[in-house]
Amino acid sequence: MEQTATFWIAAGAATFFVGMSKGGIPMVAMLGVPILSIFIAPGMAAGLLLPMYILSDVYAIWLFRGQYSARNVAILVPAGLIGVLIAFLVVSRVPVEATKLIVALIGLTYLADALRKRLAQDFRPRDADIARGLFWGAVSGFTSYISHAGGPPYQAYTLPQKLPKMTFAGTSAIVFACINWAKMPTYVLAGQLTWDSLKLISVLAPVVLFGAWAGYRATRWLPERMFFALINTALGLLCLKLLWEVGVAWL
């Protein structure tokens, strides 16, 4: 891994965006791996960023302490771990493009349903039911393991509940902290996470922590309606980005 000045700038930017996403602004998380993929293989980029995700997860849990949905955590964490295990067992048989396509379709289906309800003036929140939670939690763990794309399934389940913005972000911090910790051993076995990449933590740790703090402050500052409007917009852009990547790979 050639660590030029340009690489360090890109790594710093990617790390900052990872931190911001954990601070409650998930729309910037999509920038991390693409930025680093200019310099290294996408798989290695995902492995390099995993420790940054874990470090910022821990900080985000502290930032959002006491602001989470206990019921959602109880449902989504076990389901997410099951999804990670399934992905580890079948990852060699599932094309990455197929996973990206599934994630994109999940996100776009949710957005279409949300638009339909808005036009019909149906603003009733959904319950955190176990059946849907187990399904979407497992899908989040599965897609997070394969391509760091667990956000859309998680949002498809939690956004219809209309949780307060801080509760939404705090729940996300706990759920994905558990999922990311579970991914660590398997990334090591797959060679995506090496000793050299771990050594970069000492340099980039302040950047990811500052990003998490900045994301947390922005989350507190943004009005509730604007916050979720940005979440939905970012979800749509991420889905279109994934569809573009699938189209380029298959064509």
pLDDT digits (tens, 9 = 90+) for 206-239: 888 898 898 888 888 878 777 777 777 777 777 7
Q: 21-56 pLDDT, tens per residue?
A: 888 776 666 666 666 666 666 666 777 778 888 888
DSSP 160-185: GGT--HHHHHHHHHHHHHHHHHHHHH
Q: Where are the domains of the chain?
A: 5-250
Cα 66 to Cα 174: distance, rounded to the nearest angstrom: 11
What is the H or E stretch that residue 127 is in? none
Is the whole model's pTM more than 0.95, yes or no? no
